Amino acid sequence: MIPKVLIVEDDVKISNLIKLYLVRDNYQTLQAYDGEEARDLYLKHTPCLIILDLMLPSLSGEEFCRWVKSSEAPEDPAVIMLSAKARVDDKITGLRLGADDYMTKPFSPEELMAHVEAVLRRTGRLCQKIVHDGLIIKPRKGEVWLNHKEIKLTSYEFNLLYLFMENPGQVFTREQLMNHIHPYEESEIFPRSIDAHVKKLRRKIEEDSSQPARILTVRGMGYKFAL
């Protein structure tokens, strides 16, 4: 999948320059020139990365970033902030708002592209929600939704579900699943404890946990997520 990048910059020349370099490197691009337009484009296209100027009309970059990182936004894309503010305090504020990176103006387009690549290496896989028959997992937000309702999972349950949904049809042994969710636990954690985690997870995501349609048991082997 080609990463989709939303450029939020009110200076048309700078916006077009960023687009030129992104297109050169085979990224899909969207352009917004104020915060309100950025929000509309974001909701329509759910990009994986946002390159965000802070000084914007109608809705500031800080406000837009705060909204993107809130529970109101459907996804949790990576954000690279661009700003003429070069003070350490300004950078700290931007990062605390949820930005994944912060660059000051003026900047080198080649350096920006290096930052884009680095951020997507760290976050790209986690930017994409996974959907299966009304079940949605949003890795960066740590959220799971079933039929438009959020369901609460423990960290063990979330990690199990994420592994299953990332690898539909793949059979995992109990030992593999145990090592995935208990990587640093002592040896007294037994593989059969996985059965308890799976049973609890099924109760939350299956219509009938006694006849699961999502997490399937593979006799003599372990479990897999239905295709």
What domains, with CATH codes, occur in the chain? Answer: 4-127 (3.40.50.2300), 130-225 (1.10.10.10)
In the chain, what is the greatest distance between 2 CA atoms, to the nearest angstrom? 62
**79-117 pLDDT per residue, tens:** 999 988 878 888 888 888 888 999 999 999 999 999 999
pLDDT of residue 158: 93
| pTM of the complete model beyond 0.75 | no
Chain centroid to CA 30: 18
Cα separation values, 111 from 106, 118, 131, 221, Å: 11, 11, 34, 49
Q: Would the pLDDT of 183 be above 80?
A: no
DSSP H or E run through 100 = none
**23-63 pLDDT per residue, tens:** 999 999 999 999 999 999 998 888 889 999 988 888 888 89
Q: Is residue 114 exposed (0-12), middle (13-18) or buried (19+ Cβ within 10 Å)?
A: exposed
Does residue 89 or residue 127 have the better pLDDT? 89
Residue 226 sits at the vertex; the CA angle it makes with 221 and 227, to the nearest 5 degrees, is 125
109 upstream amide cis, omega within 30 of 0? no
**65-89 pLDDT per residue, tens:** 988 887 566 677 899 999 888 788 8
